[in-house]
Structure 1
């Protein structure tokens, strides 16, 4: 039975918002500019392709209003696929150097908290005028990517357009439709292309860790509970469309010698050797010719030893950042976790860098100079985004720690079943499966993997700290 904490007695996130100095609203000048630019979509028609007849659909978490992407996947007569990916055109609403632009640079990205978001852009834009809401004509940046029968891209086009989404889906609804054979025609080809792209990702060396993801959800009665975020095939396939677009964008920018990439250096050979020793200790066979990506793709994520190896593999994925370049080769051009060069261009409502990277792609593919306001911002974007990513990670972890502490506060002394993720001499990182809690446990003689009983020894809701010992 899930443990629930009621939202009473101060069980909200106001103190956390204050601790991280999260803004409660937008400055008046930002709201005024947002009101001024959120005009009639017909005002954006000049120079845009009319793609309002294409039946785009969106796939987002339930209740989402900040809809960045709309997708249409079709089979082509030659056996390949045509992906049309419409991305919200934030640059159409954000005057360079104006109040919205300055505030967005300060925020960096939308922060998601259980009791409400801290948006990158004013809701008048992010949840209305710029959002790809169903039935509404919206300005968008339309990516058209043709692939061969194996899923490899053969042609890429990017241009400004007007689009109109016909349906808003969430992941579980799409998954259920596919299972029942009642999938929407606009995404009927998504499973086949998604599987092909997943296979190509493994061939590239992309590293996917199927660790359980914690999620804070309301219980419908004013309380919070922890759950494991479901990992559906639709999640993976939809992510592959975004990755395909981001890799296409990176290729465009690298050919032009200007842009900003999302990068991750290759893992140190010593880290890979360490992972091989870990696999051996866990009893996981790792043939010498098998890559890390191939090994991970073949593991059963339900087995404790697989979870332990996933946790260890995070050592290979350290050092992610952003690399900007203009007229020179970037210091690092690839993302080791993806196995290819990659750029963020598919979430401009929620992430600052996407707006600038998209403008580079639009300019160079249409033989136009990159706008000066984009060039001027390139050098500062890595620092802005790194700081924003760091804050987002800290806020997310703090929210999870807080709810864990609230939920477990009345259960000190209770014994839970746990999976060992990483063992050291006198402590271990563990995963409690019900409720899904990540924590540290003290004791001795920890196995390298497997399930063990642990006892909750202390909870400090104010400091957001919990402690376990091996039972």
Structure 2
């Protein structure tokens, strides 16, 4: 039974339907159109173009439908048997590299000397089923190259695995979502136990990728399939992950988005380099200067990067000395540890814990200015006239031994009592001069209460407490002004030596009404609205808010990578007379450093707000909260919640007929969602000026 070249009545043909080759009997042919009878006992019409290129045999004479069906069934059985007997991969091995494409008849000739039409059809069926190695371009089969086969096998395996994951995951995700929506937080583990372990691992990995990047391209196709039937939610992956239990309650997904590893375990791969830093510093160490420095920090601070001393000389001039921790002394810039630290960019101080930029064995131990320990330091020294004018400045690399680590509370109490040590009293006096002079130059100072968030039982049974941080105005003024002085001096020194730095700039002329000290919410809002953003750039420009002609942060090298860079520039200037990096080299580093600073800064901004909203969510039904109107423009009124340092908007109808800036309200809040940052005002009652707050808000 030979192949037929032309189609006519009585000829057997094959066509593709449902991804399978189907055999049929031609009843009629007319102008490229066929009427055929199939194995399913149906007549169909089709274009000649659908017919596969192995036709025959042809049967002469008329036959009834029963006879035709019997003939079709016989050929179908032969062709199925022939296809099963063929090993298409062996044929590919023979043909690959020898021919680019060939017909089914040619391939059938490789396994039989005179293949009949059933053998050719069986070969065609076998090759059609081996899509990873052959592609059908009628009338021939293309033989894929080894590289193409490898790629297609990988794609086929991935598609098969994806289908497996989708089948398992669609139902699983719907049940997880339903559990979350109905408040049933205990279903996750039981549902996950029914999953195939391999599929579960892939689903978990996908959710983690999506928490870090909602637009993750690797997950896009699979995620689109899995979330069919689920409502839209901007944090759907996070919700499913927490409901499942692969991340704990209140998981900080902002860290994933910033690619920042919390805690201190991240530095384990750099143990050898850390030991090298210890050894290098030990080799460089020498006798410290005999200056009784004192540091002032919060009681929980362990990464102590600044300390000071002040004294009055016999001639009435004042000597002020500032010591800065100096990790740059023996730091391997460009090494693996430095790359990891640069990626962290800064320390994070969050309610659930501190994550230090440096490994704790370095940042809170080896380089930290702990009392009694000899530490490398960059020392800045000023001479002040009795009237508070700077009459001299010097800077040097040295080693110091801090005499005392004290706290804001202790210093504030001593200054209030009048029995503070002379260097503390003198330091506060100098700081007061410095602030007064900055205000004369047009500085902007924002004074507002800082909320303190305390967590217990984190993360499984968390309780949130909110309070206003204690204010230590004298002690905090002392420290903040010395830091501004040191950073401005670092910038001036670099400029005078023609060295580039990572300058913080805000080159703008501020309106007179913005300058000065602002403490009430409306004034703060007006001032902040007028302040342009600060920039980090290698060229010195003014910093308007600080009233500094140039400003290069250098006083927190244990906490901020930009400060470490600037410290290294100064250290190199003092040691060699030239900066470590040129302007062009610093400029080249800026894009990556700026992106890391912004990414980590978002965590520091958003995470405390999450806890503030979580606190409001838990207490909004039992109490009201003070809001102060800060902006009445537009359709919505903006209010500040001073105790929380967050803002909320309300409609005019909610607040009443007469609304003015500075007006105080007792706000009823609702529809609070820490995840989506949603906060609504449901009601408000104006607070009479004479009514004590505790009668309105309770003691919470």
Give TM-score scaled by structure 1 length: 0.82
* Equivalent residue for 1:390, pick from 598, 608, 625: 598
Shift, 1:359, TM fit: 3.1
User: For the Cα contact (< 8 Å) 1:213–1:229, is it kept in 2?
Assistant: yes
Assess, with a 3 A threshold, how the Cα gap between structure 1 residues 13 and 160 changes in structure 2: closer, same or farther: farther
C-alpha distance in 1, partners of 2:452/2:535? 25
Give the equivalent residue in structure 1 for 2:375.
138
User: For the Cα contact (< 8 Å) 1:88–1:132, is it kept in 2?
Assistant: yes
User: For the Cα contact (< 8 Å) 2:521–2:640, is it kept in 1?
Assistant: no
Cα deviation, 1:269-307, whole Å, max 9, x if unaligned, reads: xxx3xxxxxxxxxxxxxxxxx6643xx33x6x3xxxx32
Cα deviation, 1:3-38, whole Å, max 9, x if unaligned, reads: xxxxxx966454443344321432544333113212
Give the equivalent residue in structure 2 for 1:401.
609
State which drifts further: 447-456 or 169-178: 447-456
Shift, 1:161, TM fit: 1.0
Residue 275 (structure 2) pairs with residue 35 (structure 1)? yes
Residue 481 (structure 2) pairs with residue 228 (structure 1)? no
C-alpha distance in 2, partners of 1:381/1:195? 37
User: For the Cα contact (< 8 Å) 1:321–1:386, is it kept in 2?
Assistant: no
**1:65 counterpart SS class:** coil
Residue 499 (structure 2) pairs with residue 258 (structure 1)? yes
Residue 529 (structure 2) pairs with residue 315 (structure 1)? yes
Matches within 5 A, 1:116-265: 116-218=353-455, 223-231=463-471, 232-260=473-501, 261-265=503-507
Assess, with a 3 A threshold, how the Cα gap between structure 1 residues 408 and 447 changes in structure 2: closer, same or farther: same
Give the equivalent residue in structure 2 for 1:359.
568
**2:294 counterpart SS class:** strand
Shift, 1:164, TM fit: 0.8
**2:681 counterpart SS class:** strand
Matches within 5 A, 1:289-368: 292-293=514-515, 296-297=516-517, 301=519, 306-324=520-538, 330=539, 333-340=541-548, 341-364=550-573, 368=577
User: For the Cα contact (< 8 Å) 1:130–1:138, is it kept in 2?
Assistant: yes
Give the equivalent residue in structure 1 for 2:666.
453
Shift, 1:214, TM fit: 2.8
Assess, with a 3 A threshold, how the Cα gap between structure 1 residues 437 and 246 changes in structure 2: closer, same or farther: closer
C-alpha distance in 2, partners of 1:148/1:455? 56
User: For the Cα contact (< 8 Å) 1:41–1:137, is it kept in 2?
Assistant: no
Cα deviation, 1:35-79, whole Å, max 9, x if unaligned, reads: 321248542236xxx444211111111211111001111223343
| Gap regions ≥5 residues in structure 1 | 1-8, 273-289, 325-329
Assess, with a 3 A threshold, how the Cα gap between structure 1 residues 421 and 364 changes in structure 2: closer, same or farther: same
Matches within 5 A, 1:60-79: 60-79=297-316
Assess, with a 3 A threshold, how the Cα gap between structure 1 residues 94 and 77 changes in structure 2: closer, same or farther: same
Assess, with a 3 A threshold, how the Cα gap between structure 1 residues 105 and 401 changes in structure 2: closer, same or farther: same
Matches within 5 A, 1:19-98: 19-24=257-262, 25-39=265-279, 42-45=282-285, 50-98=287-335
Shift, 1:229, TM fit: 3.0
C-alpha distance in 2, partners of 1:428/1:152? 46
Shift, 1:375, TM fit: 5.8
State which drifts further: 161-170 or 50-59: 50-59
Assess, with a 3 A threshold, how the Cα gap between structure 1 residues 122 and 377 changes in structure 2: closer, same or farther: farther
**1:188 counterpart SS class:** helix
C-alpha distance in 1, partners of 2:526/2:341? 36
Give the equivalent residue in structure 2 for 1:285.
none
User: For the Cα contact (< 8 Å) 2:428–2:477, is it kept in 1?
Assistant: no
User: For the Cα contact (< 8 Å) 2:573–2:580, is it kept in 1?
Assistant: no
Give TM-score scaled by structure 2 length: 0.57
User: For the Cα contact (< 8 Å) 2:258–2:600, is it kept in 1?
Assistant: no
**1:127 counterpart SS class:** helix
**1:82 counterpart SS class:** strand
User: For the Cα contact (< 8 Å) 1:11–1:406, is it kept in 2?
Assistant: no
Residue 256 (structure 2) pairs with residue 18 (structure 1)? yes
Assess, with a 3 A threshold, how the Cα gap between structure 1 residues 396 and 215 changes in structure 2: closer, same or farther: farther
Higher percent of residues as helix: 2
Shift, 1:248, TM fit: 1.1
Aligned residues: 424
Higher percent of residues as strand: 1
Assess, with a 3 A threshold, how the Cα gap between structure 1 residues 80 and 349 changes in structure 2: closer, same or farther: same
User: For the Cα contact (< 8 Å) 1:211–1:311, is it kept in 2?
Assistant: no
**2:382 counterpart SS class:** strand
Give the equivalent residue in structure 2 for 1:3.
none
Which protein, 1 or 2, shows the higher relative CO under an 8 Å CA cutoff with sep ≥ 6? 1
C-alpha distance in 2, partners of 1:134/1:12? 37
What is the RMSD of the two structures over their aligned residues, measured on CA atoms?
A: 2.6
User: For the Cα contact (< 8 Å) 2:288–2:374, is it kept in 1?
Assistant: no
C-alpha distance in 2, partners of 1:251/1:437? 35
C-alpha distance in 2, partners of 1:348/1:200? 27
Shift, 1:412, TM fit: 3.8
Assess, with a 3 A threshold, how the Cα gap between structure 1 residues 226 and 388 changes in structure 2: closer, same or farther: farther
Cα deviation, 1:234-288, whole Å, max 9, x if unaligned, reads: 11121111111111111111122222211112147xxx3xxxxxxxxxxxxxxxx
Shift, 1:457, TM fit: 2.3
C-alpha distance in 2, partners of 1:52/1:219? 43
Shift, 1:200, TM fit: 0.5
